[in-house]
Structure 1
Amino acid sequence: MADFEGAFRGLVLSAPAVSALIGEALFLVAVPEGETTGDRWAIWQTVGGSDDRTLDGRSGLFETRVQIDAYGKGTPMQAVAVDRAIYDFLADYRGAFGGVAFNYVEPYGKRDYRPETVGDVKIYRVSRDVLVKWAVA
């Protein structure tokens, strides 16, 4: 079975506009303890999905719903810039990466959240769902 998680993370970070903003700071589920993030980062997680079945069993096609949260310190535009770069890259993406054939990628459902204050720094978050239809390449 292909490593969807590794391929998806690698795909997002392969976008020059995304990596210019967050470097490697795209984390699965949470920022690891002791990790520093800089002014911008993103966290993603799988929030749903299924594999396609036919009368003969599994077809080898999968549908995964991912939530990506973009974060920024100081101003809401820090988080918005990360969200926009990820959206612009993933919208209607088709291609293979890391052993996974991304057949259809559709970002949708953007949500803005009130900032959280940590110490004297405001942290802003923009959340978006992404529907990914994929298969092993």
Structure 2
Amino acid sequence: MTWSSPEPKLTVAANSPALPAGWAAKPKWDGFRAQLAVHSDGQVLLLSRQGTDMTSAFPEIREAALVHLPADTGLDGELVVWESDRLAFERLQQRLARRGASATEAARQWPAHYVVFDLLHAGGDLTRWPYQR
């Protein structure tokens, strides 16, 4: 089955951490917004919010998706790199242009993590479901 990820919902700054009734919030990570898709044919795609394919720059994310996610799954989240006790955005930026053996070596030096905050697709489109569900 072929499907495409929806347009990402972008964050909106708030003046106060207090939320109105019925609202939810997510923390802002210091990383790259990305949608991860595992298609039924085994293809894994890691796309930036502009639709740029970042899959080959992050081979450890691709491999983890193949091992841990069922086919026909779509996620929305944030790519981050931890360095000691902080998020290292500059390491993440350095990873983006790497491919092949260079990407594999960078994954060993500065492994990326994918922080998931939305399940978009699980054998079917979930984006029309109510948030509560």
* TM over 0.5, shorter chain: no
Name the TM-score, length of structure 1 as normaliser: 0.24
Which has a greater percent of strand?
A: 1
Q: TM-score, normalised by structure 2?
A: 0.24
